[in-house]
Amino acid sequence: MQAYERLGVFYLGRMVDPASGETTADPLLYDAKDLTTHAVCVGMTGSGKTGLCVSLLEEAAIDGIPVIAIDPKGDVGNLLLTFPELKAADFAPWVDSAEAVRKGLPPEQYPARVAETWRNGLASWDQDGERIARLRAAADLSIYTPGSSAGLPLRVLSSLAAPPPGLAADSEALGERVMAVVSGLLGLLGIDADPIRSREQILLSLLLQNAWREGRGLAMTELVREVQSPPVNRVGVLDLETFYPAKERFALAMALNNLLASPGFTPWMEGEPLDVARLLWTAEGKPRVSILSISHLDDAQRMFFVTLLLNEVLGWVRTQPGTSSLRAILYMDEVFGYFPPTANPPSKKPMLTLLKQARAFGLGCVLATQNPVDLDYKGLSNAGTWFLGRLQTERDKERVLGGLESASASAGAHLDRKEAEKILSGLKSRVFLMHNVHEDHPALFHTRWALSYLRGPLSREQIAGLMGPKKASAAPPPAAPATAAKVEAKPPAGRPVIPPEIREHFFAPGRPVSRGSDILYRPALLGSGKLHYVSARTGLDAWFDFARLAPLDAEMKGAAGTWEDSTILAEGKPVLEGEPMEGARFEPVPAPALAAKNYGRWSKDLARELYRSERLRLWKCAMLKETSRPGEMEGDFRARLALALRERRDLEVEKLRKKYAPKLARLGERIETARGRVDREKGQYRSQKFQSAVSVGATLLGALFGRKVASTGTVGRATTAVRGMGRAAREKGDVGRAEESLRQLEERLEELEAEFHEETERVQESLRPEELELVEQEVRPRKADIQVDDVLFVWAPWITGAPEAGKPAWT
């Protein structure tokens, strides 16, 4: 393993000598913990900014630190182009054949040339295919494409779900979140709303805030209905009709409905929910690098998505315990337009809040741009690390230096502006000036060779090819053929008549339905209530809401409910309405469901089934003496344990540093003294050697060509020369002894450094998250406390017509 592979540090490149401009052999190692104070990377096109940032994300992944990367240009997806075997065939699908023509090479030979270039490039930076394999094994890498089906789809509008209780109780935080979400949504409608003057902004904010304070989310369909019939009578001191007449509200409702019904909007409602924890860790707890590609979106859609995402990240951060270790990274490849100095787009407020608050929770924000003029440097004064590459204009340089000066002052650090300006003026491609407030001096370095193949922005087709296998593995299984046969055998009829003593409910549609799709309502029972879990062994005492949906088979006999085949509704009790969708068809209702007396029995059946089948699964880690929290998924628990291990690792490494730092410092001083002694002894030896040579030469010349002198004079000079030669020999011996002493000290330094690395490696080996053993524990609900609040007759809508046949319409 290379010397740069150390605990908690990122290998970003090698140091550059400012005087000569030459790259040295010393690696630039960046302490991962320093990233909790955020970083900014600025450089013009061709400066190497993308390569540096990709390398930083590679190092994070290797170190087990999850990443959410916002990718407006499509470059970050190159992180998936990693080929451990470095074969030409691996590169072939990704190389640009036009580039081969420009270089005068046959296209079929170009992949081999690229593979050789990458192999040699990696070797020149002491890297190889084995390190690429480590990167691929360390983290799950995925590309999401919100608003598109090219990559992994992302159900963005689940963000209208209620925020965590802690955030909802904070009126200021809740207000910021509401304002940002509504501004982004109105931006999609082409409405540039002012938070103070815009009726649309005020009404939607009021509806969203009321729902969230009640702990309920708002589906888009619900939002449309509430715009038409708001659950409020007054806005401020004015009655609703005076403030916003119904006729004008209808226009806003229609605009929202048209957006919802638009075929292009369907991808926003499908896929995984926008869940920050799931973007950072897999269900098994493996760290992820989630690349959110938005290059295919227009400006309004990008702003809408980035605003929602930043608010989701902010909400997640506020639910995390504090830590001084790096928990995760939020990276944005081009922040231009999202954090301007004067304007206030919806994205600016949550981004500024993250820069101010996220550091206490271990989230490091990394912002990159090639447009340094359009940045709010007052906000960026919260960034502790600045990576500055080659800049295009003097104006860019002045703006960056001004921002860097402000950041240094905020951190209590000193910046030599003249020296920094001098260095920036002479930067070459892939050479960066790093100013880190945690270090005593700025560092000039050359970025290392990226492990990923940097082929440039990925197209939608290329993203689809990369993510195809993942989408296929995540796709739900096809509907059972028997279900279709059953429907065909007994065609649905019109709406059945339900006895008045049984109140019927209809699931509200939770997704837009494409034209040509038929809606079929199927009868079901919806049971809901609370479960109480108690365990003295784990200290558990928690209540949970539950909701179960049991289909009512038309062939059912007697009054027994089908709770054994019921489905747990993970998102809780759905939104219910009093009327069905127009034009829908209905399946027949089995006779037992039409008898009111059966519902009481079904309620008791449900309680028995819950006690029989429901289990709260907890995981216990004996090594760390930790037990998962109620409702905490295994992956989330493993992620929490990984952070605990990283905190412990950082603490152990810090102890080792404190232990070895004085020894290394003293040894360093002795080595410097020894080097000075070697230089002095060499100087004295050269001087004495020269004087002896002159003395011997003068003696010989005098003896051979000089005037006649007394023989004693010549003998005296000869004796002096011999003595000088003896002193030179002694001086040479002193040089040898000084060099031997220096060599011994340098060997001791190498031994001490090796000893330090061995101890850090032992820390690493003893604290590997993937080797933690978890023991699963099951806790039954307390039987006496099972509360079944409702067993309702419901109609669940299903889509039967193309192109979405077989999908539930309520979620």
The pLDDT tens digits of the residues spanning 387-415 come to: 999 998 888 888 888 888 877 777 677 77
Q: Is the pLDDT of residue 187 over 60?
A: yes
Q: How far apart are CA 509 and CA 795, in angstroms?
A: 11
Are 427 and 390 contacting, i.e. CB atoms less than 8 angstroms apart?
yes
What are the backbone angles phi and psi of residue 660, rounded to the nearest 5°? -90, -20
**Beta carbons of 291 and 142 less than 8 angstroms apart:** yes
Count of alpha carbons within 13 Å of 262, Cβ hemisphere only? 15
> Which one is predicted more confidently, 393 or 41?
41
| Reported confidence tier of residue 663, pLDDT bands at 50, 70, 90 | confident
Phi and psi at residue 235, in whole multiples of 5°? -125, 110
Among 177-191, 357-371, 593-607, 623-637, which is the least confidently predicted range? 177-191
Of 284, 242, 305, nearest to 68 by C-alpha is: 305
Q: Which residues pair with 422 in a beta bridge?
A: none
Confidence of residue 292 (pLDDT cuts 50, 70, 90): very high
Q: How far apart are CA 552 and CA 231, in angstroms?
A: 34
Of the candidates 269, 773, 762, 799, the one whose C-alpha atom is nearest the C-alpha of residue 585 is 799
Find the angle CA(302)-CA(308)-CA(309) to the nearest 5 degrees: 90
Residue pair 521/587 in contact by the 8 Å Cβ criterion: yes
pLDDT digits (tens, 9 = 90+) for 9-18: 999 999 999 9
727-765 as b/e: b if 16+ CB within 10 A: ebeebbebbeebbebbeebeeebeeeeeebbebbeebbe
Confidence of residue 715 (pLDDT cuts 50, 70, 90): very low
pLDDT at site 484: 36
Q: Which residues contact 493 (CB under 8 A, 6 or more apart)?
A: 585, 586, 588
Contact between 785 and 697 under an 8 Å Cβ cutoff? The reply is no
Strand 616-621 to 626-627 pairing: antiparallel
C-beta separation of 253 from 227 below 8 A: yes
Cis before 662 (ω within 30)? no
DSSP bridge partners of 531: 544
- Distance, in Å, from the CA atom of 167 to the CA atom of 316, rounded to the nearest integer, reads 9
Provide the pLDDT confidence category of residue 139 given band limits of 50, 70 and 90: very high
First to last CA, the chain: 50
Of 70, 108, 125, the residue nearest 292 (C-alpha): 70
pLDDT, tens only, 454-512: 999 999 999 999 999 988 876 654 444 333 334 443 455 678 888 889 999 998 876 65
8 Å CB contact between 791 and 599? yes
Summarised one tens digit per residue, pLDDT across range 667-700 is 778 888 887 877 787 777 667 665 655 454 444 4
- At 749, list the tokens: 């330094």
Query: What is Dmax (Cα atoms) for the chain?
Result: 147
C-beta neighbour count of 666 within 10 angstroms:
10
Indicate the pLDDT class of residue 169, thresholds 50, 70 and 90.
confident
The pTM (predicted TM-score) of the whole model is 0.78
Q: Which of 410-424, 533-547, 724-738 has the lowest mean pLDDT?
A: 724-738
DSSP state of 580: P
Percent of the chain surpassing pLDDT 70: 87
Q: Give residue-wise pLDDT tens across range 303-320.
A: 989 998 998 899 889 888
Give the pLDDT score at 788.
94
Report how far Cα 71 is from the mean position of its chain's Cα atoms.
12
Q: In terms of DSSP bridges, do strands 787-799 and 807-808 run parallel, antiparallel, or are they unpaired?
A: antiparallel
Classify 576 as helix, strand or coil. strand
Q: Determine how many CB atoms are found less than 10 A away from the CB of residue 302.
A: 22
CA–CA distance, 542 with 531 (Å, rounded to integer): 8
CA distances to 281, 659, 753 from 663, in Å: 40, 8, 10
Residue 801 vs residue 772, higher pLDDT: 772
CA proximity to 34, closest of 435, 356, 313: 435
Rounded CA gap, 398 and 391, in Å? 10
pLDDT: which is higher, 710 or 616: 616
Strand partners for 152: 144
CA distances from 420 to 389, 442, 568 (A): 12, 9, 61
Class of domain 9-76+287-475: alpha beta
Strands in 5-139 per DSSP E: 9-16, 23-31, 39-42, 67-71
Q: How far is CA 535 from CA 607, 612, 616, 617, 636, in A?
A: 20, 17, 11, 12, 21
Model confidence at 142, pLDDT cuts 50, 70, 90, reads very high
Tokens coding 402: 């001004």
pLDDT value for 555: 64
Backbone angles phi, psi at 457, to 5 degrees: -55, 140
Q: Which residues, 6+ apart, have CB-to-CB distance to 24 below 8 Å? A: 14, 15, 16, 17
**What does the pLDDT read at residue 703?**
42
- 447, two tokens: 């970025």
* Per-residue tokens: 642: 């990984």
Average pLDDT rounded to a whole number, residues 595-599: 90
Alpha helix (H) ranges present in 125-245? 129-138, 165-168, 171-188, 199-213, 220-228, 240-243
Question: What is the amino acid identity at position 507?
Answer: F
Backbone angles phi, psi at 260, to 5 degrees: -65, -40
Evaluate if residue 575 carries a pLDDT over 90.
Answer: no
Task: Give the pLDDT score at 381.
Answer: 86
Judge whether 77 and 782 are in contact, CB under 8 Å.
Answer: no
Residue with tokens 């995390």: 320
Instruction: State the pLDDT at residue 478.
Output: 47
Tell which wins on pLDDT, 59 or 304.
59
Write the DSSP symbol of residue 287: B
Distance CA 152, CA 290 (A): 10
pLDDT score of 369: 93
What was the pLDDT predicted at 393? 85
- Residue 176: closest CA among 1, 17, 360, 344: 344
- Cβ contacts of residue 146 below 8 Å, gap of 6+? 153, 154, 156, 267, 268, 274, 292, 294, 297, 305
Which sequence spans correspond to the domains of the chain? 9-76+287-475, 173-266, 481-615+780-808, 635-771
Residue 387 host element (H or E) = strand 385-388
Q: What's the average model confidence in pLDDT over 756-782?
A: 79
Q: What percent of the chain has pLDDT over 90?
A: 37
Neighbours of 95 (CB within 10 A): 19
Q: What average pLDDT is seen over the chain?
A: 83
Residue with tokens 């995981």: 619
CA angle 450, 455, 458 (to 5 degrees): 120
